[in-house]
Structure 1
Amino acid sequence: MFKIFNASRGLLRIIQVHPCQALTSLMSSTQRWRKVVQHGLVPKFSPLILPARGLKNHVIQFRKAPVEYPPVTGTEHWRRKMRTFFRCFDVNGDCYITKEDFVISAKRIADYMNLNDERAEHMLNQRIAMWDSTSKMKEGASKISEEEYLKSAPMVFNQISYRHEVFPLHVSMHFTALDLDSDGLISRDEHKASAYSFNIPEEESKKIFDLLDIDKSGFITIDEIAHGLAEFFFTEDPKNKYNVIFGPLAD
């Protein structure tokens, strides 16, 4: 079994933080989010370390190592999966993925789950970290179009270094973004909220949750997320059941 250290709980230590928390504390949560969405501003918050119930140092155990999957060839079916993934993250529907999409998704989760200011700030930092990682696919671009993503994705996903080192980090980041209370498990409500933030309908969230919850424990673990994401990104079989973990495939 292939194992990679899960760095999700140390993720925020690598985020660049600027000392303006004193200023932002003078603003209400509503005002702060409105400024972010309307003007594209991203406040720099001090990272919030939330308690975790004993699972923060868990080691990711892939059922099949990412490097063991064959190279993706970019079939039309695989491209449909990538379009589906892209459109989930294009939250505002402008045909580009930008930092604003991740900021909006964080706001939607905060509103949906009625998060307090600290947890909302924590969620924002996580989503900004996801954007920073995504933008590296195009050398730190400020926006990525669907065609640019489709063009670059096969080359990126086929790199041994990506599969061995970067993909496990992306799994960890994705899991952390879903694990809203940082307890090391994803509940149905947490998955529903995250699905809502990326425009995935609630009825689809239930199906996806049941698919990812392999042991039927009522929670999704990082190992289960890792397996689902590996099957989604590194396989091209139209009959693979994990094809729909980001909702019905785009045309």
Structure 2
Amino acid sequence: MSSTQGWRKVVQHGLVPKFSPLILPARGLKKKHVIQFRKAPVEYPPVTGTENWRRKMRTCFRCFDVNGAGYITKEDFLISAKRIADYLDLNDERAEHMLYQRISMWDLISKRKEGASKISEEECLKSAPMVFNQRSCRIESFPLQISMHFTSVDLDSDGLISRDEQKALAYSFNVSEKDSQKVFDLLDIDKDGVITIDEIAHAFAEFFFTEDPNNT
């Protein structure tokens, strides 16, 4: 069975290959990266849930709802994983590594919802302010989600996100290549052509913890 056929079977039947987390070579990394926020999440004021902030959450929800079913489910994470694997023509090892990261992200989200099998947009909007205002979220789970997200996008494990890796992520969420380019240019703060985990952390914190409609 080819890699593509295997992935199709996974998505159609909701199966996840049985494998252990793969330790891929971290080329160029000499030690575990510790996230350095420009502004710590706990330093941001409480989220009040303004209409502008809710609009951002709707945008996120609709990206994660890859199949457009109106709910975020485990299947959406499986489909997005397959789309990345297809876009970059990943070999089986790297495809499985990336799939593991995606499923881990879903498990974290589902656990927060007491094991829910699906999450609606309204459920997301209703609970989001409370979640992001929790101190435990800002200190523990938010940095963890950033790390998991970064690892799932950094497919060659070199500690950086390239333009191609960002394009693959955008494609997996049905985001256009044009919009992907705009996002990359915003995230790449020092304009060196790659995105670091600290740049991702800064962008995520500014996106989720600020309500100023003029915030870039």
- TM-score normalised by the shorter chain: which range applies? over 0.9
Q: Which residue, out of 111, 119, 126, partners 2:86?
A: 111
Paired position in structure 2 for 1:138: 113
Identity %: 81
Paired position in structure 2 for 1:92: 67
Whether the 8 Å contact between 1:108 and 1:196 is mirrored in structure 2 is yes
Displacement over 4 Å in runs of 4+ = none
**What root-mean-square deviation, in Å, do the aligned CA atoms of Structure 1 and Structure 2 show?**
1.0
Larger relative contact order (Cα-Cα within 8 Å, sequence gap ≥ 6): 2
Paired position in structure 1 for 2:36: 61
Whether the 8 Å contact between 2:4 and 2:86 is mirrored in structure 1 is no
Residue type at the aligned position of 2:183: I
Deviation at 1:123, TM superposition (A): 0.9
Mapping for residues 195-214 of structure 1, pairs under 5 Å = 195-214=170-189
Deviation at 1:58, TM superposition (A): 1.4
Q: Which residue, out of 207, 211, 215, partners 1:232?
A: 207
**Aligned-partner Cα distance in 2 for 1:229–1:201:** 20
**Aligned-partner Cα distance in 2 for 1:48–1:114:** 18
**Aligned-partner Cα distance in 1 for 2:8–2:150:** 27
TM-score by length of 1: 0.83
Is 2:135 aligned against 1:157?
Answer: no
Is 2:151 aligned against 1:176?
Answer: yes
Whether the 8 Å contact between 1:137 and 1:152 is mirrored in structure 2 is no
Whether the 8 Å contact between 2:77 and 2:106 is mirrored in structure 1 is yes
Paired position in structure 2 for 1:30: 4
Paired position in structure 2 for 1:121: 96
Is 2:173 aligned against 1:216?
Answer: no
Is 2:19 aligned against 1:45?
Answer: yes
Deviation at 1:159, TM superposition (A): 0.4
Residue type at the aligned position of 2:24: L
**Aligned-partner Cα distance in 2 for 1:49–1:33:** 21
| 134-143 or 164-173, which deviates more | 134-143
Deviation at 1:34, TM superposition (A): 1.6
How many residues are paired up?
A: 215
**Aligned-partner Cα distance in 2 for 1:57–1:40:** 33
Q: Which ranges of structure 1 fall in alignment gaps of 5 or more residues?
A: 1-26, 242-251
Per-residue CA shift, 1:113-158, capped at 9, x if unaligned?
A: 0001111111110100110111123111111011111111111100
